[in-house]
Structure 1
């Protein structure tokens, strides 16, 4: 027999008495060590715990603060369950092929306590776990309960092992009794392991939390199990205030009784003698502090039946029903007795008076509600909308009532949510004629936007472009307006590149088409809307796809009409990190070139298949724009292109698309092309993919509209029609153009 535990390591605090004192800890006591909360009765500073046995230490390891109970790192603790989770050390026993004997590997481990200490080994949550082939270990509590138990696991072949199974083949788990406050582990080398050492050199034993363990066959074939947290695994301790049960401790409330809150109760420990404190029913908090248990407002969760009214009380709540109903079997049923009594007692004029009063109240309430709705309607410019709609009979725009949209969205049920963003939440709705729509409940708008909302709705309602989500109507009789758009069912470009629709493996030519269509939509907003509309949040998740995967630009609203005064300078950053125009970050002035910069990032996503911003890794590798511009500067475009893109298209085409992205990402907005120029260039690049007779030659000295220094133009020889020319135009046999 070989002893691996000499009871040398221990919880230093476990040997201390845990008799509590009546003093209340200072408010200056620290209650956090690293990420672990340290609630009273525990403490990490002097005079900050209930008793010496509850003292912990806060140590810094590898630059991180961690709480320790003696030598054991504390993971968490629970006041309501009376438990503490710590990291316990694994015993390892390995076969030496040279000496043909078993040798200890790792750190001696143990758990030593005394009857007066707060802690007991949890018999419910812990299991004595043994891993290995022909492994035999003894766990003993000689100084406490006198318990001795065996842990034994065996196997003949590695193929006998099964992941997740810990029933004796390669792994076994044994329960321990209650009231254990220390233990030791003894390993036996009676079994000859020389026949199996090739796939199982080491065996392990540890007392650990059962729910955190899942057996893996790699624990037998490697040292992986002993590598976990430096050879440590979670173990659960039951803690309590020992030596007294509740019936004795409660009699001494003016002395050492630990349940100081007047709204607390004493609970006997289920593991050995002692007691714990819990807040009374209807209260929550820390029962070990005066006034630590506070009343719970149960009415926040609306526990009453439908039609009932909840009234919070001290330590509980009560439900009541409307007049004419009474609470029966947790249901508000009509009070038949009251109704009959009133009906019999009230005759003639009294009945008429009641009816008049009732209808009068209903009319007043309805008038008040209508007045509120009318105020909102006028505030948001509803009268202006109605006047224009009457004068322009062809205006395809609907002003919905709140009731219509509530019914269309099942009262804005969470199951109808299509997405959430900085400007509001979008729900799927069904309006008349079973027409699906997207209903957007906007976020709060400022006073300027409220005054101009009706005028801006008129402008947005007249936008009719195949690549822009159509605004069908709005609701103005609510505090924050609700917008109604056409429903686009096929997800977003972001999902097509990065997300759940990535598996569709859409061709690069299709992605290029989607980008071209999105550019056409943005170009329309910039160039043809009056006044021009700046999107302000161009990104792949705001490019929706219809049934035919045609792009539709979405998420533009009243807050993004091109401003013409000082109100264009804002204090809150608009847009999404990774797509933001760096020039906007400096000037706080949103322009159409800000949208161009964001669209350049979209082109990078298509070319590289990468996210625009990574939160991890070196700082220079987090921004996709910086990575791309660095690669272009070093003439190393091939390094950032995604593999399937290189396999589908020629490098000349990809370089053309990369050059377009590069000029879109220029730090100076004036050097960027307009959105119309971007759309025209994408149209030309698309034609390269559909005309196999087109030959591209790089011209390094040609002047390009892509920027100051030439990044390479494309001279095109056509055996058909030059790109951008119609059939009735003369054919130039060496027509050339440059990316704009």
Structure 2
């Protein structure tokens, strides 16, 4: 009997220790004390709806691979239908470890307080203590800009130049709003620019977003982003500024002009990156070799003038030194002027291309206060 009692005591002690370790592990995965309210049963977090894991599992047909919309740096996105009939995009983060929880909370915090017609809307999320971390966005049905330029939805002539210019303006408007909110997107690319059925822009994927503190001109951090879009100065010096987004947007502008992808290993080794290819063509007065010929560049004078002007702006955005790039608010103003034909249209293509290498030799100083409105 004495031996049996001793064995039973050892069992109880081990069970208690295992429970304590499990409790400690759970506490260490959260930087905040557990709430007495079980958010899995509903409620709000930062003003957005908290969904149960089961509800989103059902909405996506148990994360059916046939419903995958895309794969990002932090997770896979699935199409879903909520019980109230809403179509949604559900982002499923890869790992539920502390780093992912931190990124998850960062994205919820940022998205919940931003309101702009050209930013994707966040409907809700799961609790940070959920079985998996899930974000629920509005579903944008018409794919990405990349799809329409050089992807599965690309068709010659299907995306005319006025529509592309409108896409550029709306994307610049969203980025200007983010910068006015002290937020750097950090992963601006055509795959993160969604389009609705009217080809209106919704900028998405804030998984890499970071708030940058007031009175700090740059943030030192390990380089992240997508090859072909990363600011060369950031990549070398680990200095992140709002001008990093400007460089990436310059690549987007060249994609809109050329219909070429940002990276293509089949191109000449010095032109694998579209940014290098574009700079070479512009400096050598060979922009016509870069432009998608289905846009009417050779046959429509207004199209030619506006493409020349956008190429000049992109050239400025793609400067290696950040101080030579414009601010996003200036980029937005320039694009709006180009759309309204409010720039000096007496400049010929040759004059503009000759000016390009010299037009960015002075540091940019914005003459305007960055707007904070969502228009």
User: Considering the TM-score relative to the shorter chain, is it more than 0.5?
Assistant: yes
Query: How far apart, CA to CA, are the structure 2 residues paired with 1:668 and 1:446?
Result: 37
SS in 2 for 1:602: helix
Kindly report which structure 2 residues correspond to 1:661-676, keeping only aligned pairs within 5 A, or say none: 661-676=314-329
- Equivalent of 1:481 in 133, 147, 153: 133
Residue 527 to residue 445, structure 1, CA distance change in 2 (3 Å): farther
- Give the count of matched residue pairs: 326
Cα deviation, residue 709, structure 1: 6.8
- Of Structure 1 and Structure 2, the greater strand share is in 1
1:398 aligns with 2:45: no
Cα deviation, residue 603, structure 1: 0.6
What corresponds to 1:533 in structure 2?
A: 183
What corresponds to 1:423 in structure 2?
A: 74
Cα deviation, residue 622, structure 1: 1.8
Query: How far apart, CA to CA, are the structure 2 residues paired with 1:574 and 1:678?
Result: 24
- CA offsets per residue over residues 486-515 of structure 1, 9 Å max, x none? 110011101111122222612100011011
1:696 aligns with 2:348: no
- Of Structure 1 and Structure 2, the greater helix share is in 2
Residue 482 to residue 589, structure 1, CA distance change in 2 (3 Å): farther
Kindly report which structure 2 residues correspond to 1:455-466, keeping only aligned pairs within 5 A, or say none: 457-466=108-117
Any stretches of 5+ residues in structure 1 without a counterpart?
A: 1-367, 387-391, 711-740
Cα deviation, residue 708, structure 1: 2.0
SS in 1 for 2:240: coil
- CA offsets per residue over residues 470-492 of structure 1, 9 Å max, x none? 11111123365211111100111
Query: How far apart, CA to CA, are the structure 1 residues paired with 2:251 and 2:83?
Result: 40
Query: How far apart, CA to CA, are the structure 2 residues paired with 1:526 and 1:638?
Result: 33
What corresponds to 1:494 in structure 2?
A: 146
Query: How far apart, CA to CA, are the structure 1 residues paired with 2:339 and 2:34?
Result: 46
1:518 aligns with 2:171: yes
Larger Rg: 1
What corresponds to 1:561 in structure 2?
A: 210
Residue 668 to residue 444, structure 1, CA distance change in 2 (3 Å): farther
Residue 412 to residue 381, structure 1, CA distance change in 2 (3 Å): farther
Residue 643 to residue 413, structure 1, CA distance change in 2 (3 Å): same
Query: How far apart, CA to CA, are the structure 2 residues paired with 1:550 and 1:589?
Result: 32
What corresponds to 2:262 in structure 1?
A: 612
Cα deviation, residue 526, structure 1: 1.2
Residue 639 to residue 430, structure 1, CA distance change in 2 (3 Å): same
Cα deviation, residue 650, structure 1: 3.7
Kindly report which structure 2 residues correspond to 1:153-302, keeping only aligned pairs within 5 A, or say none: none
What corresponds to 1:660 in structure 2?
A: 313
CA RMSD in angstroms comes to: 3.6
Task: Give the conservation status (yes or no) of the 8 Å contact 1:376–1:479.
Answer: no
TM-score, normalised by the number of residues in structure 1: 0.40
What corresponds to 2:6 in structure 1?
A: none
SS in 2 for 1:681: helix
What corresponds to 2:40 in structure 1?
A: none
What corresponds to 2:14 in structure 1?
A: none
TM-score, normalised by the number of residues in structure 2: 0.76
Any stretches of 5+ residues in structure 2 without a counterpart?
A: 1-18, 38-42, 364-375
1:590 aligns with 2:243: no
